[in-house]
Amino acid sequence: MSQQIAVTRQTFDDVMVPNYAPAQMVPVRGEGSRMWDQEGREYVDFTGGIAVNALGHANPELVKVIEEQARKVWHIGNGYTNEPVLRLATALTQATFADKAFFCNSGLEANEAALKLARRYAYDHAAERGGKEKSEIISFYNSFHGRSLFTVSVGGQAKYTEGFGPIPAGIMHLPYNDLETVRATISDATAAVIVEPVQGEGGVLPADPEFLKGLRELCDQHGALLIFDEVQTGVGRTGTLYAYEQYGVTPDILTTAKALGNGYPIGGILTTSKIAASFSPGTHGCTYGGNPLATAIAGRVLELINTAETLNGVKARHDHFVKGIEAINARHGVFDQVRGMGLLIGAVLKPAFAGRAKDIVVESEKNGLMLLVAGGDVVRFAPSLNIPFADIDAGLASLEKAVATVAATAKAA
Ligand SMILES: *Cc1c(COP(=O)(O)O)cnc(C)c1O
């Protein structure tokens, strides 16, 4: 019956809570890195559903898994375990530093679990330090860790907690990539340091290798846990299964989500047996977490992404993108810098074009390209990891038209 209701973009303004400002077109179908809207207009998709659809839209291998698992069992609750979740946890622990996995439905839930686990771990080991309080969390300005009250408070953008107080206590924010400030601030009262290896929402800003290495040493000195939020950087996005591998720095807890389900909601944390022990039965939980449908899909996603072919393909596409963006920039001179890792790329606008990233996205849409921002001054590219090179070229041609329009209006203004 609900299929009969006629809907348009206007319906969004009529019946949806206005916490988003979606594009004017309404996508109805996707295939690989192409999408079509209600009017049948075609787009190249450089958004990847915000770094989620790592294997493209309607991936036939994943459609098959969904169909097969949907006929067996979708959900049973955590009073029972299931085969797909056990296979996924085995695959993830074999592929990473971790011994144990916990599953939930989203990035924020993964970070919420990681932060709770870190505090609980400090609490459980209080006797070893004479019962001294250890609950502080160190995080970084411009970081993004999700929108629950705890994770948004840990995140480093004050505007996202405005009006939602009182916010949880014991959270400190420090400048990203500034090891000396961390050294001066961290103490034996610090339970955890949480950091994105590449700040995604905060502007596609990679961590300096020395920064992450230094955080590891400082955490070890003070008995604090190092949490890597790899919700955006994980599952192949940077050209390795997780970004920590390229940095050569191993976290105590890693959070993952976004690409793990290719759009089917799933999140998780990976950690060691010693730390995992602090989540004993009853301490934490998640009704849908680890359900067989989500974990069957994620298991196949992981198999398809964690191959030399896919991961090397990410690196090749990175180079192709950067060359293409730099060629556009050579003609239009709008970007100061192109940065990022793998297929998480940010083009930083020159000061003369400050605040115009959204304008480029809007113009791109008119030219058949779906694109992202990361803040007001950075155009973000997070396409599927298997985007065909021809689609990259087609999308970049649309981007050039959008950039030319915005550059012209900026000069006119
Ligand atoms: C997207 C994102 C989150 C939040 O994930 P949700 O699934 O929206 O809750 C957390 N951390 C990082 C780094 C992200 O990019």
- The pair of structure tokens assigned to 29 is 């179908």
Q: How far is CA 202 from the centre of its chain?
A: 11
Which of ligand 1's atoms lies nearest the C-alpha of 105? 7
Spatial distance between the Cα atoms of 136 and 118, rounded to a whole number of angstroms: 10
* β-strand pairing of 267-271 with 100-104: antiparallel
Confidence band, pLDDT 50/70/90 cuts, at residue 412: low
Candidate CATH numbers 3.40.640.10, 2.40.30.10, 3.40.50.1100, 3.90.1150.10; the one for domain 72-306: 3.40.640.10
Confidence band, pLDDT 50/70/90 cuts, at residue 18: very high
Please give the share of the chain, as a percent, with pLDDT higher than 70: 99
Q: Which residues pair with residue 172 across a beta bridge?
A: 138
Spatial distance between the Cα atoms of 408 and 333, rounded to a whole number of angstroms: 11
321 labelled binding-site residue: no
pLDDT, tens digit, 9 for 90 and up, residues 267-302: 999 999 999 999 999 999 999 999 999 999 999 999
pLDDT value, residue 198: 98
Spatial distance between the Cα atoms of 2 and 30, rounded to a whole number of angstroms: 22
Confidence band, pLDDT 50/70/90 cuts, at residue 1: low
Confidence band, pLDDT 50/70/90 cuts, at residue 165: very high
**248-to-208, 294, 392 alpha-carbon distances in Å:** 12, 30, 30
Q: Is 107 in the pocket of ligand 1 (CB under 6 A)?
A: yes
Q: Is 144 in the pocket of ligand 1 (CB under 6 A)?
A: yes
405 labelled binding-site residue: no
Decide if pLDDT at 411 tops 90: no
Q: Is 151 in the pocket of ligand 1 (CB under 6 A)?
A: no
232 labelled binding-site residue: yes
Q: Are 104 and 286 in contact (CB under 8 A)?
A: yes
Closest CA to 135 of 156, 157, 150: 150
Spatial distance between the Cα atoms of 107 and 105, rounded to a whole number of angstroms: 7
Domain edges within the chain: 9-58+311-412, 72-306
Please give the share of the chain, as a percent, with pLDDT higher than 90: 98
45 labelled binding-site residue: no
Topology agreement, domain 9-58+311-412 and domain 72-306: no
Query: Crossing angle for the helix pair 60-72 and 292-305, nearest 10 degrees?
Result: 150
Span 166-193, mean pLDDT? 98
Confidence band, pLDDT 50/70/90 cuts, at residue 394: very high
The CA 210 to ligand 1 mean position distance, Å, reads 25
Rounded to a whole number of angstroms, the CA Rg of the chain reads: 22
CATH number given to 9-58+311-412: 3.90.1150.10
pLDDT, tens digit, 9 for 90 and up, residues 195-253: 999 999 999 999 999 999 999 999 999 999 999 999 999 999 999 999 999 999 999 99
Q: Which residues pair with residue 35 across a beta bridge?
A: 30, 43
Closest CA to 346 of 144, 178, 200, 175: 200
